[in-house]
Amino acid sequence: MTIRRILVASVFLCAAVACAAFAASPARAGDTIRVGAIFSATGPASFLGEPEKNTVQMAVERINEQGGVLGKKLEVVIYDDETDVNKCVLALDKLARMEHVVAVLGPTVSGNTLAVAPKISRYHIPMISCASSEKIVTPVNPWVFKVAPSDRYAALRILEHIKAAGGGKVAILTVSNGYGQSGRAVLKEQVPTVGLELVADEIYGPTDTDMTAQLTKIKGASPDAIVCWGTNPGPAVVARNRVQLGIATPLYMSHGVASKKFIELAGTAAEGILLPAGRLIVADQVAADHPQKPVVTTYRDLYEKRFGSAVSTFGGHGWDAVYLLAKAIEQAGSDDPKAIRDALEKVTGLVGTAGTFNMSAKDHNGLDQSAFVMIRIENGDWKIIGD
Amino acid sequence: MDFASILQYLISGLTVGATYGLTALGFTIIYNTTGIINFAQGEFVMLGGMFSVFFLNVTGLPLPLAVAAAVAATVAVGAFIERCTIRPVKHPTLIQLIIVTIGVSIVIRGLAMLVWGKDTFALPAFTGETPLRFLGATILPQNLWILGITLVLLAALKRFFAGTMFGRAMLACSHNKKAAYLSGIDVQRMVLFSFMLSAFIGSVGGAILAPITMASYDRGILLGLKGFAACILGGLGNPFGAAAGGLILGVLESFGAGFVSSAYKDAFAFLILLGLLFVRPSGLFGKSAATRA
């Protein structure tokens, strides 16, 4: 009796779920283009995902106000993956199966992007990731693109700067997550190529609160420069511990901390730290005749006016993703996912907040080293030291 | 490997270890009264830090008052948790109550995220940030505060549990609730008090750690985990063992990072913990439970 009841109940439940699924999936409307987005608006990577989500909403509204794309309005369906890889995969399934989107913006972090990449090629929808890992676009997955410049370019900028300053021995300190380990791989590969020597290779956990052990070990190797690769709050702890231990060796950070929050957390320990960063966060200091000047200032003014908080590189990725997609749809003359994918590979000369995108069948990122400028933290603010 | 580096690893390990130890102490108190492992303990530590930042920056209280207010607020939260989530459970079993605490920890974390946002916040150090040099190693004044306050708390707890009627009454509740009740102990009040006391310990820990570890809504998860490991290492139910377990875990991690590899820092400490549990299941300082045939 009970078993039968359970069976009946589950049949009803299945039917209800199926009905709900049908109700939730609107017919493909003719006058809008449905775009999906997955960002880590909460969880550990929320400092990346939240500005991305805000920016995408803002950019889509702006495009629609200006007449939309191909005469149609863009409609964006945003899911929050909570920086959780499982939720990210589920969100993608929902976007592809129930929302019938023509393209996906995001995800925010590299790990999640890599996890959904095999799926997206099965769904035959193009995806424009906002994460930076190089593995996302090497080897090229026909359906996966990204707007964040590869870590390689940031690493090269740093190493060239060390070399130019006369350094020889380099110590690296990386965070044990996808971002840090991707940076570590590139650094280990590029250090000898640039003509430097790697003398220490240390690692810390994403939520570690004390890195004096690692820094003491690095100090013992007496390097000419320390490169720390991570995102907040770890690098702020590294900066503070470095001052605590009285280490005078120059400290380089990755572009992952290029936000005012880092300076706030590290306090005076942030002074003198060097890092590569996109031009967006130093928009005022970018030369007036630089091609990116109008884009970075427009985006910054719009974002800061609307959300009342300082602009970040990450939000810029959201902006670039939307405009890249809009340009591809226009070039394709169609909102068919396959046509959009083909067009994405042919976008060239698109000036975004991260740099000028020149996509090709072999390069699904379309940026190069020129996406970064070296900046130094002086008096609690950024200062361009080489463009 | 020079002496200064070894000393630095030791200092670094003790600093991190004190954070584990302080969390572990809170576990011990509730366990000692109720037999519950309170998985919301890490959240008390988080609340101590976040409330301190809140009272300092938003209400503009001076630092010592902000910390005191933060501790008071967290103690109130602790009491509220006991009254509203632990006490109303009908016919409670230990496992139910433990699962309730897991639920509570998720709710607290979620609320903290909604109220304070997802950013990390920094709290100024109590007495400056100029590092002190000591035999070639450096130590921050805040580290001394942490170690000092941990020791004071530990001594006070030991005295409380072993030397006062109230403390013994709390201990009695964990051994046998009915017998304690029959001897005239107000068991419910003891349980309430144990939650308040462990919220107190946790929030003091959170507030004194915040200048070094910084505060964020999700700080409690890992601290809770490491604190629990410290408890197990030291022997569940023994305040001295909990604090010592925390310090040992911290020092192991630090030396593991220094001598072996920082990549295996966490694994190193947990391997030793596992190994120890095979040899001594009751922990380093724990007594195995007496059983009567």
A 34-53 residues with CB < 8 A to B: 42-44, 46-47, 50
- Tell me what pLDDT residue A30 has: 67
Residue B13 burial (10 A CB sphere; 0-12, 13-18, 19+): buried
Residue A12 confidence class, pLDDT cut points 50, 70, 90:
low
Residue A272 burial (10 A CB sphere; 0-12, 13-18, 19+): middle
Rounded Cα gap, residues B47 and B115, in angstroms: 12
What distance, in Å, lies between the first and last C-alpha atoms of chain B? 54
A207–chain B Cβ distance below 8 A for any pair = yes
Angle, alpha carbons A149-A152-A153 (nearest 5°): 60
By C-alpha distance, which of A151, A195, A204 is closest to A169?
Answer: A195
For residue A82, what is the nearest residue in chain B, using CA coordinates? B118
- Tell me what pLDDT residue A242 has: 93
Domains parsed from chain B with CATH numbers: 3-279 (1.10.3470)
Q: Which residues contact residue B175 at a Cβ distance below 8 angstroms, ignoring those fewer than 6 apart?
A: none
By C-alpha distance, which of A209, A243, A202 is closest to B138?
Answer: A243
Domains parsed from chain A with CATH numbers: 31-149+297-367 (3.40.50.2300), 151-277 (3.40.50.2300)
Please report, as a single letter, which amino acid is at residue A99. E
Say which residue, A10 or A305, is predicted with more confidence. A305
Who among B138, B209, B257 is closest to A246 (CB)?
B138
Rounded Cα gap, residues A181 and A230, in angstroms: 9
What's the alpha-carbon Rg for chain B, to the nearest Å?
A: 19
Which chain B positions have a beta carbon within 8 Å of A226's beta carbon?
A: none
Interval A233-272: pLDDT, tens: 899 999 999 998 889 999 999 988 887 888 888 888 999 9
Interval B12-32: pLDDT, tens: 888 889 889 988 988 988 888
Give me the mean pLDDT over the A151-157 stretch: 90
Residue A327 confidence class, pLDDT cut points 50, 70, 90:
very high
User: How many residues in total does chain B contain?
Assistant: 293
The two tokens of residue A210 are 């004390």
- pLDDT averages per 10-residue partition of chain B, 293 residues: 84 88 89 87 94 92 93 96 89 87 94 87 86 83 90 88 88 85 89 92 92 87 87 85 90 86 78 83 69 49
Who among A50, A176, A217 is closest to B258 (CB)?
A217
Tell me what the pLDDT averaged over chain A comes to: 89
Interval B92-147: pLDDT, tens: 888 889 899 999 999 999 999 889 887 888 888 888 878 888 788 888 899 899 98
> Is the ipTM value over 0.95, yes or no?
no
- Tell me what pLDDT residue B138 has: 85
d(CA A46, nearest CA chain B) in Å: 7
What distance, in Å, lies between the first and last C-alpha atoms of chain A? 77
CB A114 within 8 A of CB A178: yes
A74–chain B Cβ distance below 8 A for any pair = no
- Tell me what pLDDT residue B289 has: 54
Q: B15–A210: do the CB atoms touch at under 8 Å?
A: yes
Which chain A positions have a beta carbon within 8 Å of B265's beta carbon?
A: 203-205, 213
Residue B7 burial (10 A CB sphere; 0-12, 13-18, 19+): middle
d(CA B32, nearest CA chain A) in Å: 29
Rounded Cα gap, residues B14 and B249, in angstroms: 9
Q: A213–B262: do the CB atoms touch at under 8 Å?
A: yes
Query: Helix B141-163 vs helix B165-175: angle between axes, to the nearest 10 degrees?
Result: 80
Q: B12–A46: do the CB atoms touch at under 8 Å?
A: no
Who among B16, B129, B214 is closest to A233 (CB)?
B214
Please report, as a single letter, which amino acid is at residue B57. N
- Tell me what pLDDT residue A26 has: 45
- Tell me what pLDDT residue A10 has: 59
Kindly report which listed range (A105-109, A159-163, B210-214, B286-290) carries the lowest average pLDDT score: B286-290
Q: A244–B138: do the CB atoms touch at under 8 Å?
A: yes
Interface of chain B against chain A, CB under 8 Å? Answer: 1-2, 5, 8-9, 11-13, 15-16, 19, 113, 118-120, 122, 129, 131, 133, 138, 140, 209, 212-214, 216, 218-219, 222, 253-255, 257-258, 261-263, 265-266
Cα pseudo-dihedral A253, A259, A261, A262, rounded to 10: 10
- Tell me what pLDDT residue A357 has: 95
Interval A347-364: pLDDT, tens: 999 999 999 999 999 999
How many angstroms from the chain centroid is the CA of residue B64? 21
d(CA A267, nearest CA chain B) in Å: 9
Query: Helix A212-220 vs helix A234-244: angle between axes, to the nearest 10 degrees?
Result: 60
Rounded Cα gap, residues B106 and B114, in angstroms: 12
Question: b/e per residue, A228-251, with b = 16+ CB within 10 A?
Answer: bbbbbbbbbbbbbbbbbbebebbb
Interval A189-235: pLDDT, tens: 999 999 999 999 999 988 788 888 899 999 989 999 999 999 878 99
